[in-house]
Structure 1
Amino acid sequence: TAVPYVFRTRGHILNYPTGGSCCASEKLISHGWGCGYRTLQTLCSWVVNQKHEKRKVARAVPTIAEIQAALVAMGDKEARFQGSCDWIGSTEVFLCLDHFYQVPCRILHATSGREVANHMDAVLAYFEQHGSPVMMGGDTDASSKGILGACRTLAGRYYLLVLDPHWYRNDVKQGLLEGARHHLQEDGWVAWRPLDSLMESSFYNLCLPLLHCRPARGSS
């Protein structure tokens, strides 16, 4: 029986919503401006987990302050960027994954939401081969998206499994993540989205980390 063509992120990730923080030492609520940083931190958590599973040493997920300091140090941003609420996008995620973890990335550029469809076969192949979450950013559509999977239906329609970092609840702010976790899916913060939900007036960049997922136990 024919089935839809679906590939998703393999391995473990941590979700970093804009209403939360990276760690106990990061007392920062980034709601309204920090979605790119939080998506980067989610990708970093996957890289850290993969390196640990391969018995390699990996630094902890960087805080927003550490991300900003790194971008200033590498000359991508001016000094005033440190401590600001300025946004970051897929290009900065590309730079930071290489800086912190020596993981190269590939950028796929689409001039509009409609053009993303032209890259979907490459995205499906990427999830099959690498299994990493993907960062998606745009211009008019300035909301960062964590892409956890891709699907092509039997009818030829494409969908993206989107993790929206803008999730914000009072129980998250209070650190009660366990009690709030089920709201992610119930409230649509993690959901399959059709490509026609993307904006036609916005370009999109997808940042694909080029680190292979450790094969699941029992696989060849």
Structure 2
Amino acid sequence: ARAVPTIAEIQAALVAMGDKEARFQGSRDWIGSTEVFLCLDHFYQVPCRILHATSGREVANHMDAVLAYFEQHGSPVMMGGDTDASSKGILGACRTLAGRYYLLVLDPHWYRNDVKQGLLEGARHHLQENGWVAWRPLDSLMESSFYNLCLPLLHCRPARGSS
């Protein structure tokens, strides 16, 4: 399996494929959902689908597709916006009996290097207590921001022993 590419490798790939100009390399310019889409295909041959919403409210129009995506593919979704510059890792989605939608959001900026040292339970507690992962209602999305959702099209493999 290929290692996760560095920022420099991602920037070089985006320039090489013609998505970005040469000045992008070494810059601090934004890498968003569209660039994630291109890089997943480039580095790992994983096709993706982009869902675009012109506002936070419009994300609701894509929720049936998002729910179906989690049923069929199961992998996380990368979500980014313009005015709402806070990237979101979407780990799940649900619709309540009252018809409200929620996204299980993980802030992708979270990092803890002691997880591999057997402290997974502590990390889980830290994530939840400090709001790094939480169920967020759709109405928490910004009305003034567009959003792109990058859905990697990987297929779930059945568990061993299941039919």
TM-score between both structures, scaled by the size of structure 1:
0.67
How many residue pairs match? The answer is: 163
Q: Distance in 1 between matches of 2:118 and 2:35?
A: 28
1:82/1:147 CA distance change after superposition, 3 Å: same
Structure 2: stretches of 5+ with no match in the other structure: none
Shift in Å, 1:165: 2.0
Q: Secondary structure at the match of 1:181?
A: helix
Shift in Å, 1:180: 5.2
2:122 to 156, 163, 179: 179
Instruction: Identify which range, 206-215 or 191-200, moves more after superposition.
Output: 206-215
- The answer to whether the Cα contact below 8 Å between 1:135 and 1:207 also exists between their aligned partners in 2 is yes
| Deviation digits for residues 128-156 of structure 1 (CA, Å, limit 9, x no counterpart) | 00011001011111111100000011111
| Deviation digits for residues 91-128 of structure 1 (CA, Å, limit 9, x no counterpart) | 10110010001111111111110111111011000000
Q: Secondary structure at the match of 2:157?
A: coil
Shift in Å, 1:166: 3.1
Shift in Å, 1:209: 0.6
Q: Secondary structure at the match of 2:135?
A: strand
- The answer to whether the Cα contact below 8 Å between 1:171 and 1:179 also exists between their aligned partners in 2 is no
Q: Distance in 2 between matches of 1:174 and 1:67?
A: 29
| Deviation digits for residues 174-210 of structure 1 (CA, Å, limit 9, x no counterpart) | 9999965531121110111000100011111101011
**In the alignment, which residue of structure 2 is the partner of 1:194?**
137
Structure 1: stretches of 5+ with no match in the other structure: 1-57
Q: Distance in 1 between matches of 2:158 and 2:140?
A: 33
| Identity between Structure 1 and Structure 2 (%) | 99
1:176/1:125 CA distance change after superposition, 3 Å: closer
TM-score between both structures, scaled by the size of structure 2:
0.89
RMSD over equivalenced CA pairs, Å: 2.7
Q: Secondary structure at the match of 2:114?
A: helix
